[in-house]
Amino acid sequence: MITVLAGENSFALQQTLSELVGAFDGPVERVDGANLEAHRLADLFTGVSLFAPRQLVVIQDLSQNAELWSQLPSWLERTGEDASIVLIEPTLDKRTTVYKTLQKAATIQTHPMWTEKDRPTAVAWVIDQAKQADVALDRTLATRVVERAGLDQWALAQAVEKLALLDDITLETIDDTIDGDEIANVFQLLDLALDGNRKKVSDMLSVLELQEDPYRLFGLLSGQVMQLAAVATAKSDDTPAKDFAIPPFVVSRLQRHAKKLGRSGVAGVVTKFAAADADLKSSRGTPWLVIEKTLLSL
């Protein structure tokens, strides 16, 4: 039996691998496919072992070994009945002959990274993980965890571990405890600026200055401002989500500012960001100073 675990979601991939290893009754051998020697393929794929009549062989990154990867189709045809092999391949080229052969001869399980469309799945997963850790999270709190930590499962799992150490879990303690990913930082920074919280804006920029590229951060902030403009000029709540592909949770978050500022106020924000963009392109002031000046002016 041959199983291929593919996809860049290393957390889900490792979980699946752990389940396969846990369910296997016998020894497990882990092999570095990138440095595997050709003469070992016969033993691995025919199921022959000096130590056990049946074993599970986990081969990592065999595709990095061009010579052996090209030979894989011929060995798949000769796989012994007692051979249990798991190939770990985060990236698989579906156009190749090897992949087409694997489709016929193996079970392929793909674990892609979560994207915006998987946000409800991520929220449900966080609730389930929290329950296993004896942490009570309702959907509102779990949604905030995902907003803060992002859609990477490793980050979400670490976030749940941090929350398990708290006595009281609220939206505020989640914000204080869980480090925001890049998008979460942009959301929070723009929120603080539009709410007029000048001190927190300056404090947050001082931290981000040590971690982020200013031009990239400004680009993300500008993207949020454009989404704010779309929300402010929308005819209905669902128009931005449909016409501009803005996630619903982002729409709901920006609606508060859009209602408070009105169309003229949002237009003023757009104008200030356009001026900041011109300043950055003409090098009028250091990038971080331009960003801080713009945010504080909101």
- Residue spans of the domains in the chain: they are 2-110, 116-177, 182-296
- Does 2-110 match 182-296 in CATH topology? no
Residue 213, helix vs strand vs coil = coil
| Single pTM value for the model | 0.66
Give the pair of three-digit tokens for residue 31.
């092999």
CATH 1.10.10.10 fits 182-296, yes or no: no
Quick one: what percent of the chain has pLDDT higher than 70?
A: 96
pLDDT band at 39 (very low <50, low <70, confident <90, very high): confident
Distance separating alpha carbons of residues 258 and 264, to the nearest angstrom: 10
Give the chain's mean pLDDT.
89
Does residue 27 contact residue 52 with C-beta atoms inside 8 Å? Answer: yes
pLDDT of residue 80 exceeding 70? no
Per CATH, the homologous superfamily of domain 2-110 is P-loop containing nucleotide triphosphate hydrolases (3.40.50.300)
pLDDT band at 184 (very low <50, low <70, confident <90, very high): confident
The predicted-structure confidence for 220-247, as pLDDT tens digits, reads as follows 999 999 999 999 998 876 678 777 778 7
Distance separating alpha carbons of residues 198 and 178, to the nearest angstrom: 22
CATH dotted code for 116-177? 1.10.8
Which residues, 6+ apart, have CB-to-CB distance to 263 below 8 Å? 232, 233
pLDDT of residue 126 exceeding 90? yes
Label residue 49 exposed, middle or buried (CB < 10 Å: 0-12, 13-18, 19+).
middle
Residue 117: CB atoms within 10 A of its CB come to 8
Characterize the bridge pairing of strands 56-60 and 28-32: parallel
pLDDT of residue 163 exceeding 70? yes
Higher pLDDT, 244 or 13: 13
Please report the pLDDT score of residue 53 as a whole number: 60
